[in-house]
Amino acid sequence: MNAQSAMMGSKEQLREKWMKPEVITGSEILLRSLLLEGVECVFGYPGGAVLYIYDAMHGFDDFKHVLTRHEQGAIHAADGYARASGKVGVCIATSGPGATNLVTGIATAYMDSVPLVVITGNVATNFIGTDAFQEADITGITMPITKHSYLVRDVEDLPRIIHEAFHIASTGRKGPVLIDIPKDVSAKKTMFKPETTTNIRGYHPTVNPNRLQTDKLLKAIESAERPIILAGGGVVYSGGHDELYQFVTTTGIPITTTLLGLGGFPSGHDLWLGMPGMHGTYASNKALQNADLLINIGARFDDRVTMKLDGFAPKAKVVHIDIDPAEIGKNVPTDIPIVGDVKTVLQILNKDAKHASQADAWRAQVETWKQEQPLRYEDSNTELKPQWVIEMLHRTTNGEAIVTTDVGQHQMWSAQYYKFNQPRSFITSGGLGTMGFGFPSSIGAQMAHPDRLVISINGDGGMQMCAQELAICAINNIPVKVVIINNQVLGMVRQWQEIIYKGRYSHIDLEGSPDFVKLAEAYGVKGLRATNKDEAESAWQEAMNTPGPVVVEFVVRKGENVYPMVQAGDTIDQMIMGDSE
C-alpha cells in the first residue's frame, strides 16, 4: 500500500468514527458535523455561552482549533482561509459581545461573496428575549449581512442545519451563513444521525445559462470593433480562470480585472490592461470609455470601478455574466444578461468562440494607451518610495507569493505594482474596505497553504487594529512575512484631504504609533526596519531566509499619493495622473 492509499484509508476510518450513531451532546454533534464537512481548522474565542462546545474539544485530537486574541481576528482569519483555499471558513464566538465583535468580519465576507460558516453561542432558550447577561439578537443584527442564518432551538436539528449551512455558503453566490446555538441546545443529548443530503425548498441557484443569451454574446463578438472584458471576483470564486484564459486568447479581446479579480487572468499577458476604476490604469479606463462591447464576467459594477454611473462606458453594448441575477442591471443597464456560474458559462462559450476579427485596430489602440501612460512614480535614492517597495516584493518573489493587504494606499499600490499570475493569490477587503483585515487574513491564508510564501502588506494604521494576532504567529510558528508600509499617517485619508479638501488636514497624524520592531519582539516575532533601498533589500532578504514569522517595517515618504486617481463625480477617463495635476 502506498502513502496516498494509506492516507485515504485513514481518512475513511476517521469518517466512520465520526459518523458512528450514538447518543452525544449538541456540542459533540457540532464538532463531528464540522469534521464531516471537511473542516480542517476553526478559528475562535471561548466564552460562557460556548463552554460546552469548548469542553467537547478537550481531548478531541481530530478537531483543530486556533485561539485568536480577538473575535475580529478569528473571523478575518477564517475569511483569509476561505479566499486562499476556496473552501468554507469557520469561526466560533460566544454570545453578546463575542458575537457582535464578528459583525465587521461578517459584513466583509458578505460584500466580497466569501463562504463562511459563523457559529455563535447564545443564552439558554428559556432566557432568550429577557435581556439576560451577554444576550444579543445576533441573527437579527446580522440579517442584512448574511446569506442565511439559523437559531437552533432543537438539538436534533443540528446535523441538518450544519449540512445546509455549508451548502448555502458554498453554492450560488457564495457568502456567510450564521448558526446561533443556545447554551442548553449545546448541552442536550440526542442520538447523532449525520445528515448527508440537502433539499432546501426554494434554493436552486442557476448554474447553466440560457443558451440563447450565450449565442447572442458570440454574435456580438463577431461584429464588435472595440470589445473589452471586465473580469471580477466571480472568475476566481468559480474556479473559472483557465476558461477565462482560453476565452481571452481565443477571441483576442483586451481584458481588465477588478481589485477582487486580480490573479484571475495573468498580469503579464499582452492583452491585460491592468485594474480599472478610481485608481485604475490609463489604458483600462480609456478602453472602458471607448468600447462598443463591454463583457462583464463576474464583477458587480462597483462604484469604485464605474465612478460616475451615467457617464460609464457610454458607447458600449453591455453583457453581464453573473451567478446572482440581482446584480444584473442593478447599477448598469444590461443589453445581454447571462445568469449562471462563470466557469460553466465560459466552458459553453469556449466551444464556439472565435477570434474578434473586426478588432485589430482596437487592439493596436489599447496597446498604444498602455505604452503612452504606464503606471509610474518619481523614484528617489534618498528615501523609500512605497511603490518601489512593492516592486521589490514582486521582483524577489517572482510574483508567486500569496499577498494579503489591509485597506488604504498600500492596498492600491499592491494592486498596481505586484503582478499576480495565479488565482487566490491576492486577498483583500474590496467591498467593505475593512481596516484590520489584512494581517489576520494572512494567518488563515498561510494555514490554508502552509508550503507557500504568504506576505501580509499593511499600513501603520490598519496594522494596529489587529496587531495582537502576532501572538498566534509566534505560538504556532505561522511563517507569515508581515510588511508594514509606515508613512506615519492615515495615507488615503490624507490624500483625499490634500486633493479634494484643499489641504485641510484633520486628525490623520499617527504620531505615537508603537515601535513596530519592538512590538514584534514583544510577541516573540523577529522585527526588522528599513529606511532606504539598501536596508530594504537586506531586511527583506533576511525575512525571506527566516523560517518563522517576521515583521518588516519600511519607513516611506509621508506625502506620497496613489495615481492615477479619479475624483468622485467624475467619469473614469477624467484621471489625475500625478502630483503635477
User: What is the mean predicted confidence (pLDDT) over 21-37?
Assistant: 96
pLDDT, position 14 = 83
pLDDT digits (tens, 9 = 90+) for 447-497: 999 999 999 999 999 999 999 999 999 999 999 999 999 999 999 999 999
Residue 340 has pLDDT above 80, yes or no: yes
Are the CB atoms for 30 and 181 separated by under 8 Å? Answer: yes
Q: Please tell me the distance from the alpha carbon of residue 576 to that of residue 191, in angstroms, as a whole number.
A: 66
Residue 5 has pLDDT above 60, yes or no: no
Is 492 among the catalytic positions? yes
Give the pLDDT band of residue 2 (cuts 50, 70, 90).
low
User: What is the mean predicted confidence (pLDDT) over 353-362?
Assistant: 97
Domains belonging to the chain, first-starting first, are 3-192 (3.40.50.970), 211-372 (3.40.50.1220), 386-566 (3.40.50.970)
Strands of 209-273 (E only): list them: 227-231, 255-257
Is 330 among the catalytic positions? no
Write the DSSP symbol of residue 181: E
User: What is the mean predicted confidence (pLDDT) over 209-228?
Assistant: 98
pLDDT digits (tens, 9 = 90+) for 172-182: 999 999 999 99
Computed over every residue of the chain, the mean pLDDT equals 96
Tell me which of 111, 412, 435, 492 is the catalytic residue.
492
The side-by-side arrangement of strands in the sheet containing 481-486 is 426-427, 402-405, 454-459, 481-486, 550-555, 526-530
DSSP H/E element including 344? helix 342-352
Is 488 among the catalytic positions? no
Instruction: Compute how many other C-beta atoms are within 10 angstroms of the C-beta atom of residue 283.
Output: 25
In 3D, which of 264, 254, 309, 317 has the Cα closest to residue 286? 254
In 3D, which of 41, 40, 34 has the Cα closest to residue 18? 34
Partner residues linked to 121 by β-bridges: 181
Tell me the HSE value of 234 on the side-chain side, using a 13 A CA sphere. Answer: 26
User: What is the mean predicted confidence (pLDDT) over 181-197?
Assistant: 95
Is 419 among the catalytic positions? no
Tell me which of 134, 213, 358, 365 is the catalytic residue.
134
Please identify which residue in the block is written with the cell numbers 516575532: 525
pLDDT, position 545 = 97
DSSP H/E element including 104? helix 103-111
Cα distances (angstroms) measured from residue 402 to each of 84, 215, 244, 456: 8, 37, 21, 8
pLDDT digits (tens, 9 = 90+) for 289-311: 999 999 999 999 999 999 999 99
Give the pLDDT band of residue 390 (cuts 50, 70, 90).
very high
Q: Please tell me the distance from the alpha carbon of residue 150 to that of residue 179, in angstroms, as a whole number.
A: 5
Instruction: Compute how many other C-beta atoms are within 10 angstroms of the C-beta atom of residue 469.
Output: 28
pLDDT, position 579 = 78
User: What is the mean predicted confidence (pLDDT) over 192-216?
Assistant: 94
User: What is the mean predicted confidence (pLDDT) over 353-361?
Assistant: 97
pLDDT, position 455 = 98
User: What is the mean predicted confidence (pLDDT) over 142-147?
Assistant: 98
Residue 1 has pLDDT above 50, yes or no: no
Residue 581 has pLDDT above 80, yes or no: no
pLDDT digits (tens, 9 = 90+) for 10-23: 778 888 888 889 99
pLDDT digits (tens, 9 = 90+) for 243-272: 999 999 999 999 999 999 999 999 999 999
pLDDT, position 9 = 57
Burial class (CB in 10 A: 0-12, 13-18, 19+), 507: exposed
What is the pTM for the complete model shown? 0.96
Strands of 134-287 (E only): list them: 148-151, 176-182, 189-191, 227-231, 255-257
In 3D, which of 207, 493, 498 has the Cα closest to residue 343? 207
Q: Which residue has the higher pLDDT, 17 or 162?
A: 162
pLDDT, position 99 = 98
Is 71 among the catalytic positions? yes
Q: Please tell me the distance from the alpha carbon of residue 575 to that of residue 581, in angstroms, as a whole number.
A: 10
Are the CB atoms for 66 and 476 separated by under 8 Å? Answer: yes
Largest Cα span, the chain: 73
Cα distances (angstroms) measured from residue 124 to each of 45, 154, 417: 19, 12, 52
Residue 184 has pLDDT above 50, yes or no: yes
Could you tell me what percentage of the chain is helix, strand and coil, using 3-state DSSP and rounding each to the nearest 5?
A: 45, 15, 40
pLDDT above 90 covers a percentage of the chain that reads 95
Tell me which of 63, 147, 174, 183 is the catalytic residue.
183
Tell me which of 37, 71, 243, 469 is the catalytic residue.
71
User: What is the mean predicted confidence (pLDDT) over 124-151?
Assistant: 96
pLDDT, position 580 = 67
pLDDT digits (tens, 9 = 90+) for 50-79: 999 999 999 999 999 999 999 999 999 999
Are the CB atoms for 451 and 527 separated by under 8 Å? Answer: no
pLDDT above 70 covers a percentage of the chain that reads 98
